Every structure is written in structure tokens, then in C-alpha cells.
Structure 1
């Protein structure tokens, strides 16, 4: 979004009262930024809270467009828009390109039927759900910029991560691939219909170096299957040594046992 020229602000609820989700407090924080549009993200287990927040925002600011993204709405776009009338549109799949395209059309032409020209966007129009309900996925992960970590309170994350069970602290997280080549019946990835895509070793290690400059000492790799391509893993480790990065990493989502060797 920043690359597309938008002024982005984030309301990070991580360090609000973790014992109670206060919808009014989050709503006030969002509207206190005077946004032209509000983007929310939700998993299935957080969708009730997302609905509550959307409804609270819409009640106080009825003309502010509310857009939802995340795995839940990507799987169930029509149902989600039907269940929560406060949500105006949904970005389906991976939104790095779709969301800026959507906002460009929203701010120039409004929420009209012209939105049908966009892939991976479901929206509300005339009491009906319109748009393309097939999720969109990014093929070239190297073309994406590093996450906009400057929008988040990194000092708080540094302090918080010192409580992790890690070989070194502070701890940061990153992804080096998206999707998974396997189709395990118990996993939601089977519903995505998207192939496994990887970042190049050079691209991965460049972000690791950025994290080291931010004083992180350990990285949690949250890929679904980091060790799928063992040759790529070797290349990443070789580059870490070549760059002299004093880093450790752990695989937060584990790994498939048939992709592990003695080495």
C-alpha cells in the first residue's frame, strides 16, 4: 500500500489489555486516525470479534468503507458479507496487489459495478454480493517488499519476545515461502488450490540481515513447509554464513519428518 502511495496506519491490538477484547477501545483507536477506509483481517476463530468491530465502526462512521481480508473470508466470501452488513467488501487470497487496485478504484469511482473488473474482490452493491469470489495469489514473492515493520511498535515486540523459549532473543518472525505442495486432508491449505511458491535464498537472507539490523537475534520461520526443498535450505544456510549473520532460527510450524535428513 505504501508503494502505491497510500498513507497507512496500523492499530496493533497486541499490547492492549490481553485479558479482554474491548471493541469500543479498538474502534476509538481506529476512528481517531480519521481513516478514508478501514481494512480488517480475521481468521475463523476471530471472525466474531471482526464482525463486532466492523459494526461498531460503521455505527459511528457509516460512510467509512470497511474491507475484510484473511483466510476466513477468502474461503467463505458470500457467507461473510451476508452475515455482517457492516463489511462493504472483501479481499480474497493474498492482497498485496489486489488491495491497492481496489482502493484506487474505490477512491476514483466508488463502490460501483466497475469493481467487477477486479480479480479477487467481493463487494456489496444494491443489496447483493458482487465480484469475483476466486482468491488471488502472488506468484513472484521476490517482487514483494519486506514487511512494513516500521508501522508497528518494534520496541514492544523486542521486549515481549524476550519471554519466548528461544536460543537467542529478541525474536522476530518471517516467511520464506507460501502454500504447500501437499494436500493433507486435515489442513485448510487443501482448499486454497494454490501451488507452493518460494522466495529466492538471496531474498530471504536480505530480510534476515534487515532483521539483524533491527537487533533481532533469532527468527521464527512460519512457513507451512520450510524443508520441502532441501537444496534451497542449504543455500539459505550457506548465505547466512557467507554474510556473517549471527542469527539462529527455528521452524515455528514444525516440519514433515520425511523431509528431514541426518544433516
Structure 2
């Protein structure tokens, strides 16, 4: 079977590429590795990195003449994926079109209902599902075979059918390493600033899948499941050594949702890195209440230089009763303190505009950010709504999303998005006003010294789709100017008083 796997062009991730933060598509690379091992002919087209136009992709499809065309999707970039499915079917109608990735997994029926050019959706982990689909389709290109394949949704005779989800892959060590050799690796510009070393090429790795926790906004349990499945330390080290030798990278981003879900495994991975004297640098995302000082010291010795963790909200009520994060603020302060003492860069994630979050509670979050001004990296976002999550249900109940909302149709003007900054994902805005959220964003930016309004003007103009968008950006401009004037008068007021 000839299989072509595609990353859509343009959109949010093309903007990330221009900013120097584009990572290889591990999901597609794992699927490609499994299919290649099974004897299929594979071609991967990362149209975002290659900066291809849809017309150029169509030419490649006609030339390759694939039996199956697979397209990955995220909610941030879903409209580009939808357009690519349409263009692919137009270019080569006899190919089976397959949509996978996080967005398709969370909204399979919605995708099929609004995309007549789409034949099949792969739900969740794609390796075994695509392997079975390719094998059965090679034997008999008949839609009746779809009914026997777990993890698929498909359309047949005008009816949408969703099969049972496939059981998760328990032995991740059995998977081949991602097929990096099938992509133009040298074109990826994923880099990290390592203290004392400068800006170095980096690569992303997944060492576990799944998340047992219950955050209301998170789609990970839907995509990967709640059961955490982990690669063995030996298998992780084998891939690190392979990538270091093959691609000359010394910086690794362990892209797990919770790298320290099993602290003993983390300690063993660190022991192996130290024993083998790999001299690598790495970063990861952790959960605050699953780490102690001795483990962090060992991680530092093994090359950890950057540690990310989510607090999400300063308010304990919002954090634990609304988000269901179940994290203590003392754990946050303690881990930040350890990081600063050990010369590890702490990066905290914060989110504004949670359900029922008041202005006073949002102030608690911004005060924590300002407390650690210049000491931590802080990443903020307005709360995103993803399909299939508890938050999506809440958004419809509160009228943030209309009851008949479709992820495959253009948003009504009243739905707020920031496509260039945070992808084309609806933002949850209910209790807080747009003016208040804008103030929080700019106060964070001032504390991080990262804001430059002039640099954003071309992107702002590009993203204006309606009068409502224009009005929101004007509100942001007014808030920005007001805060700048406030800072200016705070700075000169001592001088004025001294003259008196």
C-alpha cells in the first residue's frame, strides 16, 4: 500500500515555525514507523515546514498516487486540515482520506458530518488502528471492512458510524522509534536557549502516554486515556543515544503530559544518563506534588535545565473546585524555590477566565506572577475550549458556545478567538470582561518584559474577521495605553513630589 501522511500548511503552526519553535510531528512519525515496518510504502509531507501551497500538495498527491491519504489535525489548526482533506480528495478521488490527530479524535462525528470529502477518522492512538486499516484495505477496498476495526469512525451509505475505541497500547517499548528519516529533519528549527551554552538545536520525545488526572479543560485523557503507560528507562535511553548520534542533538524536550507520573522511573532514567555520561540538556513538564528535592537534584545532575509545571490559577477555589487540579499553593512555592537554588529555569503555566472566576480571584493569579517577576518564566493563556472536554459542556450550558455549535463550521462573530497568538480555538469568556482579560494579559507581559504592541499590529490586522473582532482589538489598545500611562505616572510621581 502507498500511504501519504500530511501535515497541513499555513495557519497557527506556520506562525510557530517562523518564530523558531516548530517540532517534528511525533504522532505521524510513530504511525509512519509502524506502517513502514509492516511493509507499506510511506511518504510524509510536512507542508507547514516546507511552506507548501495547497496547489503544490495536490501536484505531489497526483504524482505519488497514494492508496491512503492521512492528515493530522489539532483544534488550533483544524480548518487547515479540513481544507487539505478537500484538496486531497479533489486531486486524487480514488484515495481513501483519513483524518487523525487530537481534534479528529475528540470530534469524529462532527468532522464526518461536515466534510463529505472525508472517508475515515482515526480515534485516539493511531499506530495499531492505521496498521489494521492498511492491511484490511489492501486485501479488499470495501467500506464493510471498516465495521470490524476498533478506533475508527466512518461514513457509509450516508450514515456515520463510530466503532468502539481501540484498547490502549500497553507496551510502548514495542513501538519502533519515530520515522525521523522520512522528514526533512534539517528544516526544523526547534531550539532552546540553554544557560551558558546559547541557542541549541533540540528534539522532542515522548516517554509515556496517558494522564490519570481530571482537569476540566484538558483533552489528554480523551486522546491518550487515563491509564498512564510508560516506556522503560532502558528504551528511553536507547532513543536518546540514537537521536544524539544520528542527528547531533544534545537538547531534549520530554513531551509527556506528566513526566514525573512515576518518580522512581524518572530517577532511573537520570541514573542511566549520568552513568553513560551523555552530557545532554533536557526539559520536561511535571506535576508539582510528585517531586521532592532529592529527585530534582538528581534531575539537575542528569542535565535538566528547564522545568515546566501548571498552577493554572492563584485562587485555591478555582484551582481545586473548578479546574479539579488538586494542587497546593505551597507545593508551587516550594518547587520554584528549589529550582532557583539549583539553577533550573522554572516555567509556570497560568490560565485566566475560568468558569465562575471573579476579578478578585484573577488578581490572585497575577499577584503570584508579579511576585516572581524576573525569577520565573511565566506562560499564560485565556482559557481554551476543546471538544469533548467537561469545559465544552459547561460552555454550552452557560451560553459561551451555542447549543448547535460545530467545530467544522466558521465561528459566529460573538465567539472569541486569537488565531495567530493561540490558534483558532474558542476562548472561554463568561464572568470576566474582555477589558479585564486584556489587562491581565498586559500585566503579565509587562512583568515578563515581553510585550511589544507595534510588532503585533500586522498580525492583528490579519486576524480581523468582523466588526466584533475590530472592537475587541480596540479595547485591547485602550487597555494597553491606560496601563502604560499608569506605569509612566507611577515612575514620574516621585520626581514630581520631590520638586514640591
Q: Same fold (TM over 0.5)?
A: yes
| Superposed CA offset, 1:228-263 (max 9, x none) | 211111100111122221211111xx3222123223
Matches within 5 A, 1:125-164: 125-157=156-188, 160-162=189-191, 164=192
Q: CA deviation at 1:35?
A: 1.5
Aligned residues: CA RMSD: 1.8
Structure with greater proportional helix content: 2
1:220 aligns to 2:253 (yes or no):
yes
Task: Give the number of equivalent residue pairs.
Answer: 255
1:166 aligns to 2:198 (yes or no):
no
Matches within 5 A, 1:78-227: 78-157=109-188, 160-162=189-191, 164-167=192-195, 169-192=200-223, 193-213=225-245, 214-227=247-260
Preserved contact between residue 205 and residue 254 of structure 2 (Cα < 8 Å): yes
- The whole-number CA distance in structure 2 between the counterparts of 1:247 and 1:14 is 29
Q: Secondary structure in 1 aligned to 2:252?
A: strand
Q: CA deviation at 1:187?
A: 1.2
Aligned pair partner of 1:22 in 53, 61, 64? 53
Q: Secondary structure in 1 aligned to 2:93?
A: coil
Preserved contact between residue 38 and residue 65 of structure 1 (Cα < 8 Å): yes
The residue aligned with 1:241 is 274
The residue aligned with 2:45 is 11
The residue aligned with 1:257 is 288
Aligned pair partner of 1:59 in 86, 90, 114? 90
- The whole-number CA distance in structure 2 between the counterparts of 1:9 and 1:236 is 33
Q: CA deviation at 1:135?
A: 4.9
Compared CA separation, residues 152 and 9, structure 1 to 2 (3 A): same
Q: CA deviation at 1:189?
A: 2.4
Q: CA deviation at 1:89?
A: 0.7
- The whole-number CA distance in structure 2 between the counterparts of 1:166 and 1:23 is 37
Q: Which runs of 5 or more residues in structure 1 are unaligned?
A: none
- The whole-number CA distance in structure 2 between the counterparts of 1:190 and 1:96 is 18
128-137 vs 114-123, which moves further = 128-137
- The whole-number CA distance in structure 2 between the counterparts of 1:14 and 1:246 is 32
Preserved contact between residue 44 and residue 72 of structure 1 (Cα < 8 Å): yes
Compared CA separation, residues 86 and 136, structure 1 to 2 (3 A): farther
| Superposed CA offset, 1:78-110 (max 9, x none) | 111111111111111111111011011112111
Q: CA deviation at 1:191?
A: 3.4
Q: CA deviation at 1:166?
A: 3.4
- The whole-number CA distance in structure 2 between the counterparts of 1:107 and 1:206 is 33
Compared CA separation, residues 23 and 136, structure 1 to 2 (3 A): farther
75-84 vs 191-200, which moves further = 191-200
Q: CA deviation at 1:136?
A: 4.4
- The whole-number CA distance in structure 2 between the counterparts of 1:205 and 1:190 is 26
* Structure (1 or 2) with the larger CA radius of gyration: 2
- The whole-number CA distance in structure 1 between the counterparts of 2:168 and 2:107 is 16
| Superposed CA offset, 1:41-61 (max 9, x none) | 101122211111111111121
Q: Which runs of 5 or more residues in structure 2 are unaligned?
A: 1-34, 295-500
